[in-house]
Structure 1
Amino acid sequence: MNHGAETGVTLVELLVALSVLAILLTVGVPSLAGFVSSQKLDTTVQLLKDSYSQARYEAVTQQRPVFLCPLDTATGGCGKNWSDGVISYHDLDGDNSYDPLKDTQLLQNEFPSGAVIVYKKNCFQIKLTAKGTTGDNGTFTMTVSEETKKLVVSGMGRIRNG
């Protein structure tokens, strides 16, 4: 009987490999979680900034007001929670509220889950005039897992990191 070189892994080699894997996971998983929440926050900031800029662009190029409001994901209309997303629209019937049957929706963006967005208390709509101005200052505060960023909206209509 010819027994060639046996192949396989010894128990000691297996335990060493599992120990190294456990150490790598212990070090790597918290870093990965921080990276994921940071990316969610950056994505939320960029989506909100882009949505606002697009609404302002539409107001100026179309020469009529555009409204930006928080998205109500259940109805697809305007809601009271900026954390879900935003919707922009032309208010064709002039009642300062979104009616999908009468008004023209321009944009709808949903934000990543876990993002908390706060704008001024009881302010659930931003009106951008045909000149691209809002006439009022405000700050969006976005938080994901204790990390916070701000976007400042000026009365002149500009938006910037805060």
Structure 2
Amino acid sequence: MTYSSHYSRGFTLLELLIAFTIIAITFGISFGSFSFIEKQRVEQNARTVIQAIMYARSLAIKENQSVFICASDNESHCDKNWSNTMMIYRDLNGNKSFDATDDMIHLFELGSDDNRIRWGSFRRQDYLEFLPTGMTNFQNGTFTVCANNKNVETAVPVIVNVAGRPYFGRDSNNDGVREYSGGSPVRCS
């Protein structure tokens, strides 16, 4: 038997198939992990929204006075970007907006540049008011928490009923997308 003095260069078909299979599995696992992390971030922000709502509601009942929640980028005023911070305050002068005479109670940091949060309510106000009874001031609505990539499969609607109680929207038809209280699928536009 004679052997060639030249070494073979390259891979066999079997070696290439095994290498590509390992690469494909690795990519599949890593992309699945990114999706899992994205979903966890969205759900954590949704839980923080619920905590802020429950805290403000219980405070309104306990202190027998209206308590407000608004979006804020600092402790000095309310704005329309709910994605950073939710501020809870007492409106001492009754003008339904936060200013220097009001009492800031607590800030809930959402602090994720990876998520977007929108608030839509029945009365289309930029704030949420809890009356001393714990009910909203006819402001039932929804906080929609979405990833920046607008993936509706990871989005979480936090629904606030007129009684002031928050709850997560459910995926009632098992299509992988949660629904608003009326049954329509969540949107991340």
TM-score, length-scaled by structure 2: 0.68
The structure with more helix, counted as a fraction of residues: 1
Cα separation, partners in 2 of 1:49 and 1:26, compared to 1, 3 Å: same
Partners of 1:43 and 1:29 in 2: how far apart? 21
**RMSD of equivalent CA atoms:** 2.3
Q: Which runs of 5+ in 1 are unaligned?
A: 1-18
Measured after TM superposition, the shift of residue 21 of structure 1 is 7.6
Q: 1:136 aligns with which of 117, 136, 139?
A: 139
Match of 1:96 in 2: 96
Which is worse superposed, 19-28 or 75-84? 19-28
- Which runs of structure 2 are paired with 1:3-152 in the superposition (5 Å)? 22=23, 25-73=26-74, 76-99=76-99, 101-111=100-110, 112-120=112-120, 122-134=124-136, 135-144=138-147, 145=149, 146=151, 147-152=154-159
Q: Could you list the structure 1 runs, at least 4 aligned residues long, displaced by more than 2 angstroms after superposition.
A: 19-25
Name the CA distance, whole Å, in 2 between partners of 1:58 and 1:32. Answer: 39
Conservation of the 8 A alpha-carbon contact between 2:129 and 2:139:
no
1:152 Cα deviation after fit: 1.1
Q: Which has the higher contact order (CA 8 A, sep 6+)?
A: 1
Cα pair 1:71 1:110 within 8 Å, conserved: no
Q: Secondary structure at the match of 1:69?
A: strand
Q: Cα deviation per residue 1:25-76 (whole Å; 9 max; x = unaligned)?
A: 4233202211110111111110000001000011000111000011224x64
Q: Distance in 1 between matches of 2:166 and 2:82?
A: 16
Aligned residues: 145
What letter corresponds to residue 62 of structure 1 in structure 2? E
Q: Distance between the aligned counterparts of 2:85 and 2:32, measured in 1?
A: 27
Alpha-carbon shift at residue 129 of structure 1 (Å)? 0.4
Alpha-carbon offset, residue 85 of structure 1: 2.3
Structure 2: 5+ residue stretches without partners = 1-18, 170-189
